[in-house]
């Protein structure tokens, strides 16, 4: 047996559960090891259609990795295994490259709140697009329903019901909807995504004792949430599955989606795309637009079309 084969035989497979700087927590079986890595990795595009394809890929939460253990508590990451899915955004600093936030996730649960901060459906729409781009199954959780005055907020969620998305309504203080939320997470690898202050950490604390995730109050000055989570961490769930809690994202930049593509991420547009008079129709003011025709017939919700236009302006 060669030295290389012997070294590879000694490696073990694990999953990255936390990444802070150059330090990574890797779960191997039921034990967590603090691991570091040597240099940067290249992940082959042919093996990894959903990943960053260039030089310099770093491990992220959710990555399956091969590790050489160096002692009872530590190890070295030697290889990143092919990613099946990912959640990405443009790099925060330069906005030129791709920043993979989390990998190998099965579903994204988009968390919004009725109040504090106010419900913004355009933010939900952006997360839905990101989920579709990353090949994640989306679900929507509307939290803090105990703060609602009336049922108007449910009417604003009708477009998502009509499109077949799962929508869960929750209140942590009143413990409403928590079993539905738990069932949505059970036996799946999920990521919670949403703005700061919507109650992602509070929801997780409510369904599993012992997590003790830090929560933050809403700023009384701005009525916006303060960050409770400063890094992404993947938590094993007692009832089966894993969940990643993300730092609050005030605005999720959409990665690798251009203006011509955007309409395909709105399912209600799909059956009339290709039916417009002009092949390069952007579904705005062009004559003979099939999407506008469907909108005018009431088969596309006006709020969703308005969201399409506003997101289009940002691309």
Same domain, 274 and 223: no
- Indicate if the pLDDT at residue 47 is higher than 60: no
35 and 26 Cβ atoms separated by less than 8 Å: yes
Same domain, 161 and 48: no
What is the C-alpha R_g of the chain?
21
Residue 21 maps to which CATH number? 2.40.50.140
Same domain, 239 and 125: yes
Mean pLDDT computed over every residue of the chain = 87
69 and 12 Cβ atoms separated by less than 8 Å: yes
Show the domain range for 150. 102-245
* Residue of higher predicted confidence among 30 and 216: 30
Same domain, 230 and 129: yes
pTM for the model stands at: 0.86
Q: Residue 91 domain-assigned?
A: no
- In the 8-state DSSP scheme, what is residue 269? G
Find the helix or strand (DSSP H, E) in which 233 lies. strand 233-236
Same domain, 148 and 61: no
Find the helix or strand (DSSP H, E) in which 101 lies. strand 98-103
pLDDT, tens digit, 9 for 90 and up, residues 95-128: 568 888 899 999 999 999 999 999 999 999 999 9
The three-state secondary structure class of 77 is strand
Angle value at C-alpha 166, between 161 and 167, nearest 5 degrees: 75
Write the DSSP assignment of 25-43 as a string of letters: EEEETTEEEEEEE-S-B--
Number of folded domains that form the chain: 3
- Dig out the tokens for 202 from the structure: 């509070």
Residue 231 maps to which CATH number? 3.40.50.300
Place of tokens 């039921």: 30
* Alpha-carbon gap, residue 51 to 42, rounded angstroms: 11
């Amino acid at each position: 047996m060669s030295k290389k084969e012997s070294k590879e035989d000694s490696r073990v497979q694990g999953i990255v559960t936390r990444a802070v700087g150059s330090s990574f927590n890797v779960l191997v079986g039921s034990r967590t090891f603090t691991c570091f890595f040597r240099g940067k990795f290249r992940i082959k595009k042919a093996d990894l259609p959903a990943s960053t394809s260039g030089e310099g890929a770093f491990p992220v939460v959710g990555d399956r990795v091969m590790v050489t253990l160096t002692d009872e508590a530590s190890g070295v990451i030697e290889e990143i295994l092919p990613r099946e899915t990912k959640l990405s955004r443009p790099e925060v600093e330069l906005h030129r490259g791709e920043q993979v936030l989390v990998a190998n996730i099965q579903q994204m649960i988009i968390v919004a709140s009725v109040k504090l901060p106010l419900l913004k459906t355009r933010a939900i729409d952006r997360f839905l697009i990101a989920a579709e781009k990353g090949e994640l199954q989306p679900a929507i959780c509307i939290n803090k329903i105990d703060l609602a005055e009336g049922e108007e907020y449910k009417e604003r969620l009708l477009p998502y019901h009509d499109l077949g998305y799962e929508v869960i309504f929750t209140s942590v203080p009143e413990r409403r909807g928590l079993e539905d939320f738990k069932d949505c997470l059970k036996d799946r690898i999920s990521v919670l995504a949403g703005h700061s202050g919507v109650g992602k950490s509070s929801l997780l604390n409510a369904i599993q004792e012992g997590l003790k995730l830090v929560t933050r109050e809403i700023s009384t000055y701005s009525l916006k949430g303060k960050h409770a989570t400063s890094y992404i961490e993947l938590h094993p769930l007692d009832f089966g599955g894993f969940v990643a809690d993300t730092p609050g994202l005030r605005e999720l930049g959409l990665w690798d989606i251009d203006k011509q593509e955007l309409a395909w991420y709105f399912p209600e547009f799909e059956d009339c795309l290709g039916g417009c008079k002009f092949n390069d129709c952007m579904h705005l003011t062009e004559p003979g637009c099939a999407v506008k025709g469907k909108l005018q017939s009431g088969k596309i919700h006006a709020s969703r079309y308005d969201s399409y236009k506003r997101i289009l302006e940002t691309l």
